[in-house]
C-alpha cells in the first residue's frame, strides 16, 4: 500500500499562514481600491455636477438681483416724479385716464356734450376689454379700454353740422376718447358712433 503524500502539507500551511498574516492588509487594500473607484467613478462626477449647478444658480441669483435693483431705481424715479406733481395736475390726469371705468361719469359727460350740440342721446352701451397690444401693462397698472356705442339724434335742422360739432367736442374733451367709427344714412337725423375710452386698472 502506497504511503500518503506529505510534500504539499508544508506549502499549504505556509499559504494559510501568509493569508492569516496578510489578510488585514489585503482587505484594507481591496477596500481602498473600492473606495477610490467609487470616489472617481461616482462621487467626484456628482460633486462636479453640484458645483456647476451651484455656479449656475449663483449666476441666476446675481442676474435677478441686478434686475430687481434696476426695477427699484425705476420705482424711485417714478415716485419722485409723482411727488413733483401738484394736486391740480394729479386731478387733471385722473380725469384724462381715471383709475376705474366710471361709467356713470361717462354717461353724464356724453349726455352733456350731446345736449350742448343740440343732439339727443337716445341709446348708449359699454363693452370693457384689455387695451390693444403695446398699450397694456402687466397686472396692476394695466391699461384697459372701454368700448362705447352711441346713438344720437339731431334736434331741428342742420343735424350734420351738429354731429361735426359733437365729434369736435369729443376729441377735445378732458376724458380721453378715440372715435372708431361713425355710421349714418343720408337724410336721416340719427347717427351711430363707436368710441373707446381708457382707464388704468388698479
On average, the pLDDT of the chain sits at: 77
Domain tally, the chain:
2
Whether 193 has a pLDDT exceeding 90, the answer reads: yes
- Domain range for 171 is 97-200
pLDDT tens digits along 159-172: 788 888 999 999 88
Spatial contact of 189 and 154, defined as CB atoms under 8 Å apart: yes
Prediction pTM value: 0.50
User: What's the CA gap between 101 and 196, in Å, rounded?
Assistant: 11
Using pLDDT thresholds of 50, 70 and 90, give the confidence band for residue 187: confident
CATH assignment at residue 178: 3.30.70.60
Same domain, 59 and 123: no
The more confidently predicted of residues 183 and 97 is 183
Is residue 110 located within the same domain as residue 192? yes
Distance CA 79, CA 81 (A): 5
- Of residues 11 and 114, more confidence is placed in 114
Q: Are residue 15 and residue 68 in the same domain, yes or no?
A: yes
Angle between helices 159-171 and 103-116 (to 10 degrees): 140
Q: Answer yes or no: do 46 and 76 share one domain.
A: yes
Residue 89 lies in a domain: no
Q: 69 and 38: one domain?
A: yes
**Bridge partners of 149?**
125, 194
Domain endpoint, select from 26, 54, 84: 84
Q: What pLDDT sits at residue 194?
A: 94
Q: Same domain, yes or no, for 115 and 183? A: yes
Query: What pLDDT shows up at residue 136?
Result: 44
pLDDT digits (tens, 9 = 90+) for 99-138: 788 888 888 989 999 999 999 998 899 887 654 443 444 4
Residues 44 and 65 in one domain: yes
With beta carbons less than 8 A apart as the criterion, state whether 119 and 125 touch: no
Is 92 contained in some domain?
A: no
Amino acid at each position: 500500500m502506497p504511503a500518503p503524500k506529505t510534500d504539499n502539507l508544508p506549502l499549504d500551511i505556509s499559504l494559510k499562514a501568509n493569508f492569516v498574516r496578510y489578510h488585514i492588509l489585503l482587505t484594507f487594500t481591496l477596500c481602498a481600491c473600492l473606495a477610490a473607484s467609487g470616489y472617481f467613478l461616482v462621487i467626484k462626477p456628482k460633486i462636479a455636477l453640484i458645483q456647476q449647478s451651484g455656479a449656475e444658480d449663483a449666476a441666476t441669483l446675481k442676474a435677478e438681483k441686478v434686475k430687481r435693483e434696476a426695477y427699484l431705481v425705476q420705482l424711485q424715479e417714478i415716485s419722485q416724479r409723482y411727488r413733483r406733481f401738484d394736486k391740480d395736475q394729479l386731478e387733471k390726469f385722473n380725469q384724462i385716464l381715471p383709475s376705474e371705468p366710471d361709467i356713470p361719469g361717462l354717461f353724464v359727460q356724453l349726455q352733456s356734450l350731446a345736449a350742448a350740440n343740440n343732439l339727443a342721446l337716445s341709446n348708449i352701451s359699454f363693452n370693457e376689454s384689455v387695451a390693444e397690444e403695446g398699450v397694456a401693462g402687466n397686472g396692476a397698472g394695466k391699461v384697459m379700454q372701454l368700448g362705447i356705442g352711441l346713438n344720437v339724434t339731431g334736434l331741428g335742422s342742420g343735424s350734420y353740422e351738429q354731429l361735426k360739432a359733437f365729434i369736435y367736442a369729443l376729441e377735445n374733451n378732458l376724458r380721453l376718447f378715440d372715435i372708431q367709427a361713425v355710421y349714418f344714412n343720408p337724410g336721416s337725423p340719427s347717427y351711430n358712433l363707436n368710441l373707446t375710452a381708457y382707464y388704468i386698472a388698479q
